[in-house]
Chain A
Amino acid sequence: MIAAVLVATLVQSRFIISLLNYSLVYVILALGLQLIVGVTGQLSLGHAAFYGIGAYASAIATTRFGMPWVVGILLAMAFATLGSLLMSLTVRTRGIYFAVATLAFGIIIHLVFVNWVPVTRGTMGILGLERRLWGQWRIDSPQGYFLFLAFVVCAVYVFLARLTDSRFGRALKAIRENELAAQSIGIDVTRYKIKSILIGGATAGLAGSMMAHLTRMVTPEPFGWWKSIVLLIMIVAGGLGSMPGAAVGAFVLTLLSEYFRGYAEYSMLAYGLIIVFFMIYLPEGLAGLWHIIIQKVRWGGRRAVW
């Protein structure tokens, strides 16, 4: 947070600040997805749907109903949670079937964004979003937005990191590692899976609101299924199961892809190559790499078991 304040005061370039803002939104998304995929082990390919639901909920609440952004954020999280509840019906399916069901769910929601014109204004999108937080209190400067986002990211990070490191988190990891064994010691697997999906979905809704008011508009385009996959790539690169990994993965990859915006055609290709590369050579992601380095240092290079 202190670093964020420093950055905000020191960096004057609008370009860099907006780059950072984008990246922070993706950090929120990746953290939430990490809880579902990396910690609970449920390969969700529908995360972008809740991101979109949050963006639309917030946009509609603030533009059409003139509500302050704070209410928009809360509604974004509420609707995204509701959407997740719907998707969590699919927890009864297992393994690959869950992945496919969530992918299909994400595509259906995206179709709704595109085609439910009276509400979402279809591909024209909702424009002119304000950043009126509450009353007359607004965040208009990019630096201000950055600080606000940094605060939100920290809150989400602490929330999820603590959650992962607790009785609750152990139950989720137990489900990831071995559902049968988890049940055999009294863990209600279905309930925990659903909770993890709801929490992940709520954070995606939050991210949606953040992105909507960052770009001041909402169109269906960023919420397609490929976005879910990009998010997956971020957490894979960062290291499945690791919250710091998710944050770093999302931050670095977004920075890179936004920085190399001119080469957008290549960025998806690069994402693909990254994910395959990591799965083959470094399935533990950057977090795994970090562990190896730490171990090497600590053991003077003698042992690298982890």
Chain B
Amino acid sequence: MSLAIIINGLVVGCIYSLIALGFSMIFKASGLTNFAHGESVTIGALLGFTVLKVTGLPFGLSLVLVFILSGLLGILIEKLAYRPIRVKNAPEINGVISSVGMILILANGAMLVWGAEPLAYPASIGGSLFQILGMTVSSYSLWILAITALLMVVLQVFLNRTMLGKSMRAVADSMLLARLTGIKVDRIISLTFGLGAAFGGVAGVLFAPIYYASFDIGVIGLKSFAAAILGGYGNMAGAVTGGLLLGVVEAVGSTTISSVYKDAIAYGILIMILLLKPSGLFGHEVGRRA
């Protein structure tokens, strides 16, 4: 099997990682598994399409703009759909069901706005192909790898160095303690939703050129969730490793086993992990919060 397949896997893996990060972040902060998180990818990809087309901004700037817009949308959605349930101390299942409803709202809302047809990003973004170490690689793949790496570094710095980031970590560690130390927990949770959605949105913009943008690409969220579990749910480094690993396994699996069942491979892995080692491959203790 060639190295190119692995590189391809890593590229898709980067996308998974970015989305998986959002899942883990949101879960850690609020205890909610946001099923609709995949839709931030959809919205991001479609927003990116519009931004590129309408403003003609360069790709990099569009990325930043989508990051911000998705983030704001994430915050808004948290306020409208999740907070009212969370503050009522309703059973855990209610929040999850609400997020399932959000999938329909976001995906079908997107369809009404952008239509049902897949939208292709300008071909120029795909970048040029070139040879390295005897493989053909697109420059865009390298961009994805680079941008993902950059985002990871920024996230690390943000979480470890800034006041806001530290508050987020505090809330994730213990909501109660954070509240006692005077952190505005609700605001932090809301921001975490925003940050997660922003990462999802960027993932969408990065993903669209190698796929397409459409109202129904949000299912990628479920695979990314698989990635988050694979690496240990709620664990940032785990989300990234899980994403990359899933990308590679899927790429290798679809060339060696079956390409029509490519998705089935990812979901099969998900079920296996949930059954055999729900704490993730490298995980010790994760899972439900008290």
A→B interface (CB under 8 Å): 41, 43, 45, 89-90, 92-97, 99-101, 103-105, 107-108, 111-112, 115, 225-226, 229, 232-233, 236, 265-266, 268-269, 271-276, 279-280, 283
Query: Which residues of B, 106-153, contact A by the 8 Å Cβ criterion?
Result: 106-109, 111-112, 116
For the complex, would chain A's binding face be called helix, strand, loop or mixed by DSSP majority?
helix
Establish whether residues B270 and A101, one from each chain, have CB atoms under 8 Å apart when the complex forms: yes
**B103: chain A residues within 8 A (beta carbon):** 229, 272
Bits for B2-27, please: 1 = Cβ < 8 Å to A, else 0.
00000000000000000000000000
Subset of 20 A-B contacts with CB under 8 Å: A93-B274, A96-B96, A97-B229, A104-B270, A107-B219, A107-B222, A107-B263, A108-B268, A108-B271, A111-B261, A229-B104, A269-B104, A269-B105, A269-B109, A272-B105, A272-B106, A275-B100, A275-B101, A280-B98, A283-B94
**B100: chain A residues within 8 A (beta carbon):** 45, 229, 232, 275
Establish whether residues A90 and B81, one from each chain, have CB atoms under 8 Å apart when the complex forms: no
> Which residue of B95, B97, B271 is within 8 Å of A236 (Cβ)?
B97
Given contacts A100-B274, A115-B260, A280-B84, contact A226 B104 (CB under 8 A): yes
Bits for B31-61, please: 1 = Cβ < 8 Å to A, else 0.
0010100000000000000000000000000
Establish whether residues A115 and B108, one from each chain, have CB atoms under 8 Å apart when the complex forms: no
**A97: chain B residues within 8 A (beta carbon):** 229, 274, 278
> Which residue of B95, B222, B278 is within 8 Å of A104 (Cβ)?
B222
> Which residue of A108, A236, A268 is within 8 Å of B108 (Cβ)?
A268
Given contacts A108-B264, A111-B263, A268-B108, contact A90 B271 (CB under 8 A): yes
Q: Which of B85-93, B180-188, B246-254 faces chain A?
A: B85-93
Establish whether residues A92 and B222, one from each chain, have CB atoms under 8 Å apart when the complex forms: no
List 9 A-B pairs, minimum CB-CB distance, nearest first: A272-B104, A275-B101, A272-B105, A104-B267, A279-B98, A269-B108, A268-B108, A276-B101, A96-B33
Give Cα A112 to B93, complex, Å.
29
B102 within 8 A of A: yes
> Which residue of A104, A112, A280 is within 8 Å of B85 (Cβ)?
A280
B69 within 8 A of A: no
B207 within 8 A of A: no
B287–chain A nearest beta-carbon distance, Å = 8
B225 within 8 A of A: yes
Give Cα A104 to B103, complex, Å.
16
Given contacts A100-B270, A111-B263, A272-B102, contact A279 B85 (CB under 8 A): yes
Give Cα A96 to B97, complex, Å.
10
Establish whether residues A115 and B109, one from each chain, have CB atoms under 8 Å apart when the complex forms: no
**Which of B100, B106, B263 gathers most chain A CB within 10 Å?**
B100
Given contacts A93-B274, A107-B267, A275-B104, contact A280 B96 (CB under 8 A): no
> Which residue of B94, B101, B102 is within 8 Å of A274 (Cβ)?
B101
Establish whether residues B274 and A101, one from each chain, have CB atoms under 8 Å apart when the complex forms: yes
Give Cα A273 to B102, complex, Å.
8
> Which residue of B108, B270, B271, B278 is within 8 Å of A272 (Cβ)?
B108
Interface size classification for chain B: 35 or more
**Which of B98, B260, B261 gathers most chain A CB within 10 Å?**
B98
Which residue of B is nearest A281, CB measured? B84
B239 within 8 A of A: no
Establish whether residues A265 and B111, one from each chain, have CB atoms under 8 Å apart when the complex forms: yes
Which residue of B is nearest A42, CB measured? B93
**A95: chain B residues within 8 A (beta carbon):** 92-93, 288
**B35: chain A residues within 8 A (beta carbon):** 99
B275 within 8 A of A: yes
**Which of A96, A225, A268 gathers most chain B CB within 10 Å?**
A96
Establish whether residues A268 and B107, one from each chain, have CB atoms under 8 Å apart when the complex forms: yes
**A115: chain B residues within 8 A (beta carbon):** 260-261
Which residue of B is nearest A106, CB measured? B267
**A107: chain B residues within 8 A (beta carbon):** 219, 222, 263-264, 267
Establish whether residues B263 and A275, one from each chain, have CB atoms under 8 Å apart when the complex forms: no
Query: Which residues of B, 224-240, contact A by the 8 Å Cβ criterion?
Result: 225-226, 229
13 new A-B contacts at CB < 8 Å, known A100-B274, A279-B94: A43-B93, A93-B274, A99-B96, A104-B226, A104-B270, A107-B264, A111-B263, A229-B104, A265-B108, A266-B108, A272-B108, A273-B101, A274-B101
Give Cα A280 to B229, complex, Å.
28
**B93: chain A residues within 8 A (beta carbon):** 41, 43, 95
**A232: chain B residues within 8 A (beta carbon):** 97, 100
Bits for B254-285, please: 1 = Cβ < 8 Å to A, else 0.
00000011011001101100110010000000
**B278: chain A residues within 8 A (beta carbon):** 93, 97
**A41: chain B residues within 8 A (beta carbon):** 93
Establish whether residues A104 and B271, one from each chain, have CB atoms under 8 Å apart when the complex forms: yes
Give Cα A276 to B100, complex, Å.
8
